[in-house]
Amino acid sequence: MKKQLFKCAMMVYAAAMMVSCSSDANLSCDVKKIAADVNGVQDSLMLKGTDGSCEVVYAPDWVNVSTHDTVVNYVIAANKDSVPREGCIVVTSGHSQLSIPVEQGVKTSYLLLTDKEVKMAREGDTVRVAVVTDGGKVNIEAFPEIVTALNGSYLTLISKKNEGKQISGEIKLTSGDISEKITVTIEGDVCPTCNSTGYVKCPKCKGQGNTFSMSIQGIIGCKTCGGKGTSTRAGDFGYRNGSGKVPCPTCKGK
Ligand SMILES: [Zn+2]
Ligand SMILES: [Zn+2]
């Protein structure tokens, strides 16, 4: 890979020497970089600022390039190696030259994390999780209370001081077809009444969701926790069991 980059640099350098006296150096392209996945790709790009035709002076051996007027057609082969690769396509038009970087990833066969459950302190915290993969780029989706940074094989998670109640969320990491999740808990205020679950046992039915009625020889759905109707030996009369839980009176379920 280094060799190829060096080759690219040399090509550009050599061409720069050749055209250094020319002011016609405005060859450009809307595509600033070609990034192919493991399966390869076939596409084309249009050059701007040409003299009406262009020529390819360099391309890596895994990229097949042809030109037509000012259009550059390229075919990137499937990457059978287990390492990502990169290089560049160098084109000229008249006295101008342009180098377009090209890179190709590999198929991810594993994505490993040293931690899948992370607890972060209430005062603000920084946690590092090692991320090991044989794939290319790892995409990270976090949630608003967490800032993430991936440097090499380390994912750093940063949380600010949490003034409110405990926060839970997931961080999703994806590389190719493989994805993994880290469950993050940011410690916060814990409600003494409900232990921050937000609910307490229904006081009316003692968590049963219903109450027994002697008069109908059956049960009555507890209205306090969402139940309704009655159920007797004769049948159900719009009966629904209550949940047995009501919002916490201390924290109001928050
Ligand atoms: Zn109830
Ligand atoms: Zn509570």
Is there a single domain that holds both residue 94 and residue 138?
A: no
Give one DSSP letter per residue of 195-238, joined into a string.
TTSSEEE-TTTTTSSEEEETTTTEEEE-GGGT-EEEEETTEEEE
Number of domains in the chain: 3
CA–centroid distance, residue 248 to ligand 1 (Å): 13
Is there a single domain that holds both residue 155 and residue 208?
A: no
The predicted pLDDT at position 24 comes to: 45
CA–centroid distance, residue 209 to ligand 2 (Å): 20
CA–centroid distance, residue 241 to ligand 1 (Å): 9
CA–centroid distance, residue 146 to ligand 2 (Å): 25
Is there a single domain that holds both residue 129 and residue 94?
A: no
The predicted pLDDT at position 9 comes to: 58
* Ligand positioned closest to the Cα atom of 189: 2
Residue 191 lies in a domain: no
CA–centroid distance, residue 96 to ligand 1 (Å): 80
Residue 178 lies in a domain: yes
Handedness of CA 29, 31, 35, 36 (dihedral sign): negative
Is there a single domain that holds both residue 125 and residue 89?
A: no
CATH number of the domain enclosing 9 = 2.60.40.10
82: pLDDT strictly greater than 90: no
Domain end residue (candidates: 83, 104, 125): 104
The predicted pLDDT at position 83 comes to: 83
* Ligand positioned closest to the Cα atom of 208: 1
Is there a single domain that holds both residue 115 and residue 157?
A: yes
Residue 192 lies in a domain: no
Is there a single domain that holds both residue 146 and residue 232?
A: no
Confidence at 3, pLDDT banded by 50, 70, 90: low
Higher pLDDT, 216 or 242: 242
Domain that includes residue 221, residue range: 199-247
Is there a single domain that holds both residue 117 and residue 160?
A: yes
Residue 254 lies in a domain: no
Confidence at 59, pLDDT banded by 50, 70, 90: very high
Domain end residue (candidates: 71, 104, 137): 104
Measure the CA–CA gap between 58 and 30, rounded to whole angstroms.
Answer: 19
* Ligand positioned closest to the Cα atom of 195: 2
CA–centroid distance, residue 61 to ligand 2 (Å): 65
Give Cβ neighbours of residue 191 (< 8 Å, ≥ 6 apart). Answer: 165, 198, 248, 250, 251
Is there a single domain that holds both residue 226 and residue 176?
A: no
Is there a single domain that holds both residue 207 and residue 154?
A: no
**Percent share of the chain, pLDDT over 70:** 89
CA–centroid distance, residue 241 to ligand 2 (Å): 23
Sheet holding 85-93, edge to edge: 34-36, 96-104, 85-93, 55-58
Residue 27 lies in a domain: yes
Measure the CA–CA gap between 229 and 241, rounded to whole angstroms.
Answer: 9
Residue 7 lies in a domain: yes
Mean pLDDT, all residues of the chain = 87
Residue 193 lies in a domain: no
Of 86-90, 123-127, 137-141, 193-197, least confident by mean pLDDT is 193-197
